[in-house]
Amino acid sequence: MMKQKFFLIGLVIVICVGLIVFNNSKKDSQKKATESASTSNIKQDTQTITYLNKKYIIPKNVTKIVTASLESMEDAAVLGVKPIGVITVGGKLPQYLASKLTGSVSIGEKMQPNYETLLKLKPDVIMWSSKSPGTVTEKLGKVAPTVLYSHISTNWDSNLRLMASLTGKQPQAEKIITEYKLSATKTKLELGNKLKDKKVIIARIRGGSIYLYPSTVYFNPVIYNDLGLTVPEEIKPIKAQEMISLEKFSEMNPDYIFLQFAGSENSEKTKVLDELEKNPIWKSITAVKNKKVFVNSVDPLLQGGTALSKTSFLEVVKSDLVK
């Protein structure tokens, strides 16, 4: 009788253990199936893009883009793309972009994103600036995939193609790129040797001071690359925007000056341009004496290294240098 009782108890234990193992095995199978389905969905719902030799994982269907840099805003405008979010300057859209981007929500000022606003917008992709500190980029990456949109002017066609590929505007982008290159080549031929050995400088007044840029930044590539003018020796060593004193600038003694001045960048020194033009040192410069200084020949907030900026500036060069 005792043996039979122990046998029954043992049988019950074996059955219970078997059930536990079976249930655990079933749960593991279900978990693996769920994980597999989830991984499959991720692969189906995302895509990997390569932009300037860096890979980004973004949604497969991008419909909500935040252009959180002026460079990406310019590309969106020229392609007829309406981003859900943009940055503002002094609380407003830059005038030259307003007609194209009106209705887009402000996500903050330049380099000062509002994370709360971004979270509400739930963007698919954020086009941020390559000039940004890494800490800000990291925070933005927690909101949505964040692409470091290049501020280097020689990357302008890569930038435009990126925006076009995400928005189905590839034909428009290729047309813009082709037309610009043809126009630049024509302008270069028209210039001929007119500016040989002439010093052409693009400068910007910010915070009341004069700044110069590397040959690959701002509008410089239009002058030195696309039109083939000589890069001044003083520009060659510059690695980032660099402040220069008026005295040093006068020593450069440029023959032509394209001078950009935005009120929003000189809010504490609003009269600096007037003061500069009255300064004897400024007046001693060859370009000033020959009336070859072009102030704000294009909108001073144009970023220089975009299709919109380059096209706009090239038109100015045709009228100011070719004639």
**pLDDT tens digits along 262-279:** 988 988 888 899 999 999
Q: What is the mean pLDDT of residues 143-157?
A: 95
Buried b (16+ CB within 10 A) or exposed e, 264-295: ebbeeeeebbeebeeeeebeebbbbeeebbbe
Q: What is the mean pLDDT of residues 100-110?
A: 94
Single pTM value for the model: 0.83
Separation between Cα atoms, residue 262 and residue 157, nearest integer Å: 26
3-state helix, strand, coil in the chain (%, to 5): 50, 20, 30
φ, ψ of residue 164 to 5 degrees: the values are -65, -40
- Quick check: 125 pLDDT over 60? yes
Q: What is the mean pLDDT of residues 138-146?
A: 95
Q: Which amino acid is at 49?
A: I
Separation between Cα atoms, residue 122 and residue 84, nearest integer Å: 10
Q: Which amino acid is at 87?
A: I
Domains of the chain, CATH where assigned: 51-168 (3.40.50.1980), 191-322 (3.40.50.1980)
φ, ψ of residue 187 to 5 degrees: the values are -65, -40
**pLDDT tens digits along 31-63:** 554 444 334 444 569 999 999 999 999 999 999
- Quick check: 23 pLDDT over 60? no
- DSSP state string for 237-292: T--S-EEE-HHHHHHH--SEEEEEE-GGG-TT-TTHHHHHHH-HHHHTSHHHHTT-
Which of residues 288 and 20 earns the better pLDDT score? Answer: 288
In eight-state DSSP terms, residue 208 is T
Handedness of CA 104, 107, 108, 112 (dihedral sign): negative
Side-by-side strand order, sheet with 65-67: 112-113, 105-109, 85-88, 65-67, 125-129, 146-149
Q: Which of 202, 231, 158 is nearest to 293 (CA)?
A: 202
Separation between Cα atoms, residue 244 and residue 234, nearest integer Å: 11
Separation between Cα atoms, residue 86 and residue 109, nearest integer Å: 9
Handedness of CA 24, 28, 33, 38 (dihedral sign): positive
Q: What is the mean pLDDT of the chain?
A: 88
Which residue is listed with tokens 């969905």? 41
The three-point CA angle 232-130-173 to 5° equals 85
Least confidently predicted of 127-136, 171-180, 182-191: 127-136
Q: Quickly state the pLDDT bin for 64 (edges 50, 70, 90).
A: very high
- Please report the pLDDT score of residue 33 as a whole number: 43
Which of residues 18 and 192 earns the better pLDDT score? Answer: 192
Separation between Cα atoms, residue 298 and residue 182, nearest integer Å: 21
Q: What is the mean pLDDT of residues 289-302?
A: 96
Q: Which residues contact 148 (CB under 8 A, 6 or more apart)?
A: 54, 128, 129, 130, 132, 137
Q: Quickly state the pLDDT bin for 144 (edges 50, 70, 90).
A: very high
Q: Quickly state the pLDDT bin for 110 (edges 50, 70, 90).
A: confident
Contact 304, 217 (CB under 8 A): yes
In eight-state DSSP terms, residue 160 is H
Separation between Cα atoms, residue 114 and residue 110, nearest integer Å: 10
H/E run at residue 198: none
- Please report the pLDDT score of residue 322 as a whole number: 80
